[in-house]
Structure 1
Amino acid sequence: MSDGIKKITLRNGKVRYRTVIDVGRDAEGKRKQLTITKDTRTEVRDERARIQHQRNAGTFVAPNKLTVSDLVDTWLTTATRDVELATKRSYEDAMRYVRTHLGGKRLQELTEEDVEALIDWMLTSARRRGGKAGTGVGVRTVSLTLGRLRAALNLAVRRQLVARNVAEHVTIPRAARKDDKANKKKYVPWTQEEVQQFLAHVASDRLHAVWLLSLIGLRPAEVAGLRWIDLDLDAGILKVETTRTMVAGVVVEKDAKSGAGERGLPLPEIVSKALKAFRKRQAKEQLAAGEGWHASGRVACDELGAAVKTDWLRRRAYKAMETAEVRKVRLYDARHACLSWMANNGVPDVVVSAWAGHADLGFTKRIYVHSDPQALRAGSDKLGELLG
């Protein structure tokens, strides 16, 4: 009885054995077949049995000619179907390193060693912008790329394009993480004294109310996106509902960062007064500008009423810090200062997290709340009471 294996003679006279096996159907329902050619009949029989076993177990992966770049294209199409522009851009940026270093490699030939080589290349010489070309990029960038590559390979496994995810167990070297932590610039938010010094200087500044918004914990994009219709100054309530930021050089206006990000905040009296004064000032500026006025409806706007971007706010904030002779910090650090001060002065953690617009209380405490010398002194005093 024939076993379906044929003996063939090649042009050079070499004898080999071949058979054809069904391996499923394509997207149109047509039967797909795989040709097995080996040096001996036994090898062909064993390979056929292996494939039949994997088909029955649902683990068979048919050979294909897809490259890593082909997978990146497929994954990006799937992963960015329902995400914001900023997220889409971050995925594309992360995968750009994969395309550059591994894009032309056959997907089914990709190995753990290849992924490790990608990591080493990124840590040593992958930079093309944002610093000296030919040097390494940061560990955070490497981690994001590795995470996206793992996700793409998981998709390939689910679609039976590869047998396993070769990036699953690849890690960033511990030495690289240690060096990155040692070299990372530590951002220290303002102390209470620095906040008060800055506010005393900008009390007469046109953007006094805007700086107060940063100092009560709003993100820069939330400050830039805030509209007068989001404020009820009689009731002293501010609603955070929109943001305005830059993504790949394009201004993006959207809803708040998350469900928790959409929040209503009761305003301190000093902030309400400053906002009322700023609204009156804008009314005078509108009269002076006449037809040149841009009716953006934004709280943070230029002298002609046009909406501003976060980099516009940042430049003016840095100038104000310089003239106030206070330590230069990021606008985001003003947010850190606010949340740290609240946490260190008895405001419950859950309230601090809700004020920040976070759904994860642990994230607020881990990232935004910094102990200060005054808080440590209070701890020392309590210990003194304990120890007598």
Structure 2
Amino acid sequence: MTVEGWLKKYLDVYCTHLAKTTLEGYKRYINKHIIPILGNIKLCDLKPIHIQNFYNKEREQGYSEKTILQEHRILHRAFKKAVGDGLMSRNPCDAVDAPSPEDYKHNIYTEEEFALLLDKLQGHRMEAIILIAGMCGLRRGELLGLTWEDIDLDRGIIKIRRNVVPTSEGNITKNPKTSKSAREIAIPSAIIPRLKQLRGIGKLYTKLDGTDYHPGSVSRDFKKFLDENGLRHIRLHDLRHFNATMMLKHGVTEREAQERLGHSNSQMTKKYQHILKEMDKESAEKLNSIYENKNKFGVKNGVKA
């Protein structure tokens, strides 16, 4: 049996329990990345050097370490099952170092930049979802699943009950990402009057004919808006990061932030403390110019020249 034959059997036999979106991701990696390079090799002849060579070729093609790590995980799981079924004597992935993606470099708006974004957004169709993304920290899929009926502006509560994800057959609406992601959170009181002005019926952001956007299209719409208004580029998801860091900056506890963000564990929330330290260091570095430029103003050794 070849690697291609086994991977297809692995998908058919061992991956039937996976969520539709996860299974589609597996198939995409296997069919578009793995099989073209490793597919013709016999399973019993596959060596760690073949896998390492595959990773090297992926890097040459410009794929990120994160992508290669996903491929490594799929191969490791598939070959582990092959070992269990007696088709391989050992898992060749065990002898290959797993790729180590670099941490995502934060790209978070300052409070001033977010205020400018909101100013530019007034009256725009995206205003409601961007306001909620930045002030309440919802994920993109949660925003697209949100209806005005989920937002109780009298009680000041948002109920997060749905998550919209793209598939090859169109969007599907699922339960939120984890059990912690299904939640009710309080709305900052300052934005309630504006949300009352924007309130409509049904989902917060749809096409003009009422049909749903592909989530990727919403991200592209946001990028287009930033470009057209001369605003610094961030991802739509970075508004969730903005919300998390601002909560911690202004004294919300990690536990409270975790509950509001729908994180399944505290480690996911703790990373924002690290981002805050990085932002503080960057702020300090920006102040260097005040000291470094003192000679420009004719001051030397405390005496004005």
User: How far apart are the structure 1 equivalents of 2:9 and 2:278?
Assistant: 52
Tell me the number of residue pairs that the alignment of Structure 1 and Structure 2 aligns. Answer: 283
Match of 1:137 in 2: 63
Residue from 70, 73, 82 that aligns with 1:156: 82
User: How far apart are the structure 2 equivalents of 1:72 and 1:328?
Assistant: 39
* Letter in structure 2 aligned against 1:335: R
Choose 191-200 or 98-107, whichever is displaced more: 98-107
1:206/1:103 CA distance change after superposition, 3 Å: closer
Residue from 305, 309, 313 that aligns with 2:214: 309
Match of 1:247 in 2: 167
* Letter in structure 2 aligned against 1:340: T
1:266/1:92 CA distance change after superposition, 3 Å: same
Match runs of 1:25-40 below 5 Å: none
Where is the helix percentage greater, Structure 1 or Structure 2? Answer: 2
Helix, strand or coil at the partner of 2:92: coil
Deviation at 1:192, TM superposition (A): 0.6
Residue from 94, 104, 107 that aligns with 2:40: 104
Structure 2 gap ranges (5+): 285-305
Match runs of 1:231-310 below 5 Å: 231-248=151-168, 250-279=170-199, 282=200, 297-310=202-215
User: How far apart are the structure 2 equivalents of 1:73 and 1:303?
Assistant: 41
Show CA shifts across 1:225-246 (max 9, x none).
1123322222111111112232
User: How far apart are the structure 2 equivalents of 1:104 and 1:277?
Assistant: 61
User: How far apart are the structure 1 equivalents of 2:205 and 2:277?
Assistant: 31
Match of 1:117 in 2: 53
Say whether residues 1:188 and 2:114 are aligned partners: no
Match runs of 1:1-388 below 5 Å: 66-96=1-31, 97-124=33-60, 135-172=61-98, 181=102, 186-216=105-135, 217-248=137-168, 250-279=170-199, 282=200, 297-366=202-271, 370-371=275-276, 375=280
Deviation at 1:74, TM superposition (A): 2.0
Deviation at 1:348, TM superposition (A): 0.5
Query: What's the Cα RMSD here?
Result: 2.8
Helix, strand or coil at the partner of 1:371: helix
1:359/1:109 CA distance change after superposition, 3 Å: same
Choose 105-114 or 359-368, whichever is displaced more: 359-368
1:113/1:377 CA distance change after superposition, 3 Å: closer
Show CA shifts across 1:132-162 (max 9, x none).
xxx2422111111111111111101111122
Contact 1:71-1:107 at 8 Å conserved across structures: yes
1:368/1:323 CA distance change after superposition, 3 Å: farther
1:166/1:307 CA distance change after superposition, 3 Å: closer
Deviation at 1:194, TM superposition (A): 0.3
Helix, strand or coil at the partner of 1:245: strand
* Letter in structure 1 aligned against 2:276: S
Structure 1 gap ranges (5+): 1-65, 125-134, 284-296, 380-388
Helix, strand or coil at the partner of 1:171: coil
Helix, strand or coil at the partner of 2:238: helix
1:199/1:233 CA distance change after superposition, 3 Å: same
Contact 1:340-1:369 at 8 Å conserved across structures: no
Match of 2:298 in 1: none
Match of 2:294 in 1: none
User: How far apart are the structure 2 equivalents of 1:163 and 1:247?
Assistant: 36
Show CA shifts across 1:79-129 (max 9, x none).
4212222211221122233321221222112222222222222222xxxxx
Helix, strand or coil at the partner of 1:265: strand
Higher gyration radius (CA): 1
- Structure with larger RCO (C-alpha < 8 A, sep 6+): 2
Choose 194-203 or 269-278, whichever is displaced more: 269-278
User: How far apart are the structure 1 equivalents of 2:58 and 2:282?
Assistant: 44
TM-score, normalized by length of structure 2? 0.82
Contact 1:107-1:162 at 8 Å conserved across structures: yes
1:374/1:70 CA distance change after superposition, 3 Å: closer
